[in-house]
């Protein structure tokens, strides 16, 4: 796994370590309605920041969870999904994921497994919500079973960006999940990354030290996980 | 043979939009000191139906001149259009034509484009049914198609088709029954219908 490498490393992602910041990413095929959902949730308040060089759209949102101010960055794909894969930095430090498919197009449902697989490569533990969008096209789909979410034990929502059904609930729940994940994070990769960062620091410090204990410090500490 | 074809379906929608527009004008007039000012300064052409004449080629608009209280028909001759022409561009040019612009304000570009497509089909020797079928096909989303694999232009086409449904079902902020937070619990009672998207044969799923 590469760290926020290559071009996208220019985007400041350190802030996502601060308590009040959370990062929520959207995943799913082209034209499933990811941006439409964002816009429906934010209504007039949305000021998307187009980062076209990174094929990325950022939506900023401020809210309170349990009496505390939370600054949310929603990351939207802006066409990058066409490569059926996102850059590693898209997942980097994300605290929750909203994964969308279009109830009118089976292939977008089938592709969920590809998206989910990639998500778990980078973020094995973050909360992920599965979203069936465009139910306004035919409400009968809400009586049908979609096993993907159940199989992976993920929360599942029927929504419509057009008429607004469950959109606000989806996003407020996603924010709550992101905040609680951040507070209780036991993410293995987070821990490993933290260790590696510490290790790098220790190694640099060790250059001037005669006693160099840091070299075997890493495997020892990792065994604890 | 058909020499004049009218697509009815969309016009109702169009005229609804128009009357809504008209209503806002009326309200504005009420507030102003001169009750007629609003109508004098703004166009009140209410598009009702729009169709195509093959020979000589023209787009025909039936509309209500609200100020005069009369129904009128307007012919907009189609010139320099061949079977090789770009229908979308032709529609755009007609909509922005200074002579017709005001009359076409509430007629969508996609509707005009459809009429040009019919004419193009006719110039290519297709029957009206064939042309209509082709238009229908080009305006339907193939649910099996992987849109991730399309280029920008083709993807945009599909997206604008989907946008039509989106706009049709859309609840806007100004709608009287708009609610920001709409929560519906789709509790599935009893045996859930199998959607068929989870076949057992799809093992990777």
Residue B24 pLDDT = 25
ipTM of the complex: 0.72
Q: Flag whether B11 is in a domain.
A: yes
Structural domain count of chain B: 1
- Within a domain: B183: no
pLDDT tens, residue by residue, B66-83: 889 999 999 999 998 999
pLDDT of residue A54 exceeding 90? no
Torsion-angle region of A134 (φ positive above 0: left; ψ -120 to 50: alpha; else: beta): left
Domain of B60 in residue numbering reads as: 4-139
Alpha-carbon distance B179 to B171, whole Å? 8
pLDDT at B57: 94
State the DSSP string of B81-135: --TTS-HHHHHHHHHH-TTTTTTTTTS-HHHHHHHHHHHHHHHTT--HHHHHHHH
Q: Residue A141 and residue B195: Cβ atoms within 8 Å?
A: yes
Q: What share of chain A in percent tops pLDDT 90?
A: 53
Residue ranges of chain B with pLDDT lower than 70?
A: 1-43, 188-191, 200-205
**Is residue B110 in a domain?**
yes
Flag whether B151 is in a domain.
Answer: no
The dihedral region occupied by A61, where left means phi > 0, alpha psi between -120 and 50, and beta the remainder, is: beta
E runs forming strands in chain A: 21-27, 49-51, 56-65, 68-76, 96-102, 128-133, 144-145, 156-158
CA distance A102 to chain B (A): 10
Interface of B with A (CB under 8 A): 141, 143-150, 155, 158-159, 162, 165-167, 169-171, 173, 178-184, 186, 188, 192-195, 197-198, 202, 204-205
Between chain A and chain B, how many beta carbons pairs sit less than 8 Å apart? Answer: 105
pLDDT band at A81 (very low <50, low <70, confident <90, very high): confident
Q: How far apart are CA A42 and CA A49, in angstroms?
A: 13
Centre a 10 Å sphere on the Cβ of residue B37 and count the other Cβ atoms it contains.
12
- Distance in Å, alpha carbon of A167 to nearest chain B alpha carbon: 7
């Amino acid at each position: 796994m590469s760290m926020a490498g290559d071009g996208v490393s220019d985007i400041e992602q350190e802030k996502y370590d601060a308590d009040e910041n959370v990062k929520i990413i959207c995943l799913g095929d082209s034209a499933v309605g990811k941006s439409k959902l964002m816009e429906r949730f934010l209504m007039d308040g949305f000021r998307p920041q187009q980062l076209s060089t990174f094929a990325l759209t950022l939506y900023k949102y401020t809210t309170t969870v349990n009496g505390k101010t939370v600054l949310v960055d929603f990351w939207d794909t802006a066409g990058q999904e066409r490569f059926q894969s996102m850059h590693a930095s898209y997942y980097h430090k994300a605290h929750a994921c909203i994964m969308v498919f279009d109830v009118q197009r089976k292939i977008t449902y089938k592709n969920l497994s590809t998206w989910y697989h990639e998500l778990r490569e980078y973020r094995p533990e973050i909360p992920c919500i599965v979203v069936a969008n465009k139910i306004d096209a035919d409400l009968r789909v809400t009586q049908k079973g979609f096993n993907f979410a159940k199989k992976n034990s993920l929360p599942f929502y029927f929504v419509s960006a057009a008429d607004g059904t469950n959109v606000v609930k989806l996003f407020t729940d996603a924010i709550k999940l992101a905040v609680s994940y951040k507070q209780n994070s036991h993410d293995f990769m987070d821990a490993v990354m933290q260790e590696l960062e510490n290790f790098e620091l220790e190694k640099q410090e060790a250059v001037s030290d005669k006693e160099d204990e840091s070299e075997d410090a890493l495997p020892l500490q990792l065994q604890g996980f | 043979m058909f020499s004049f074809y009218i697509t009815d379906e969309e016009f109702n929608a169009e005229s609804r939009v128009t009357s809504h527009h008209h209503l806002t004008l009326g309200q504005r007039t009420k507030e102003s000191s001169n009750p007629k000012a609003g109508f004098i300064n703004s166009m009140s052409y209410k598009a009702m139906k729009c169709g195509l004449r093959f020979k000589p080629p023209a787009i025909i608009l039936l509309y209500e001149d609200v100020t005069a209280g009369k129904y009128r028909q307007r012919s907009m001759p189609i010139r320099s259009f061949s079977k090789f022409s770009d229908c979308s561009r032709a529609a755009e040019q007609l909509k922005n034509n200074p002579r017709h612009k005001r009359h076409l304000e509430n007629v969508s570009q996609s509707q005009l484009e459809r009429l040009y497509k019919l004419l193009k089909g006719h110039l290519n020797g297709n029957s009206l049914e064939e042309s209509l079928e082709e238009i229908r096909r080009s305006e339907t989303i193939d649910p099996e198609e992987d849109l991730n694999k399309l280029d920008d232009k083709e993807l945009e086409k599909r997206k604008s088709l989907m946008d039509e449904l989106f706009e049709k079902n859309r609840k806007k902020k100004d709608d009287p029954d708009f609610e920001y937070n709409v929560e519906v619990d789709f509790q599935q009672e009893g045996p859930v219908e199998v959607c068929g998207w989870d076949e057992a044969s799809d093992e990777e799923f």
